[in-house]
Amino acid sequence: MTTYVLIHGAASGSWYWHLLNAELRARGHDVVAPDLPCEDDSAGLSEYADVVIDAIGDRTDLVVVAQSLGGFTASLVCDRVPVALLVLLTAMIPAPGESPGQWWTNTGWEQARHEQDRRDGRAPDDDTALFLHDVAPELAAEAVRRQRRQSATPFLRPWPLDAWPEVPTRFLLCRDDRFFPAAFMRGVVERRLGIAPDEIDGGHAIALSHPRELADRLEAYLRAETP
């Protein structure tokens, strides 16, 4: 049985994945979706990876799916346990020695975001329009209610690996993502992973806006990796 390991982004939790979790379980898979210790100021990237690995336990046939900041954690998990496939879902891709806090400047994210804000006509303080614009209103309201405090600690510590882990990696880019604009992320993926990203309709919170379509893509990846 395949186990999908779902790693959420900053200030989030396992609830973010609940619709995708149900889709995958209905298709006969096991799902692990731990809550990372994002409110713990003593916890950095290594501790985040520890939580995921503890949740995996003795499970095998792992497909790791990481969203946003979860890309930093997922790569560390894949360096420590055998993983059949890593799917980066509109996720940050670290470089050796780079902290998540440095990622924004190193990739040119700020300029890309400002340009996207101008295109969207978004008010600077409207986070719902930024992250949840394509999510059903009741789900968006619940997502806002469930937002957690995010400690700055993991943003301050460098990614400790010398190179990307030896794991088959796919990147699924969200075409309607306002936080990580599509054109910007295409460049980041090509420069840092040397691959062309796959693309899907949806914004940054695609597991809430298009869970069935996302499950379909993950299943297609799994079929392609299975001999």
> What is the set of domains in the chain, with CATH numbers?
3-225 (3.40.50.1820)
Q: What is the mean pLDDT of residues 113-130?
A: 89
Q: What's the pLDDT at 153?
A: 98
Write the CB contacts of 67 (distance below 8 Å, at least 6 apart in sequence).
6, 7, 8, 9, 12, 16, 89, 90, 91, 207
pLDDT in tens, 143-157: 999 999 999 999 999
Q: How far is CA 140 from CA 91, 117, 128, in A?
A: 20, 19, 7
Q: What's the pLDDT at 42?
A: 98
Share of the chain above pLDDT 70, in %: 100
Q: Which of 3-7, 113-117, 180-184 has the lowest mean pLDDT?
A: 113-117
Query: What DSSP designation does 151 have?
Result: -
- Is this prediction's pTM over 0.85? yes
The sign one gets for the Cα dihedral 192, 194, 196, 199 is negative
If pLDDT is split at 50, 70 and 90, which confidence band does 226 have? confident
Q: What is the mean pLDDT of residues 211-216?
A: 98
Q: Determine phi and psi for 6, rounding to 5 degrees.
A: -105, 120
Please state, in angstroms and rounded to a whole number, the distance separating the CA atoms of residues 152 and 129. Answer: 24
pLDDT in tens, 160-213: 999 999 999 999 999 999 999 999 999 999 999 999 999 999 999 999 999 999
Position 222 pLDDT exceeds 90:
yes
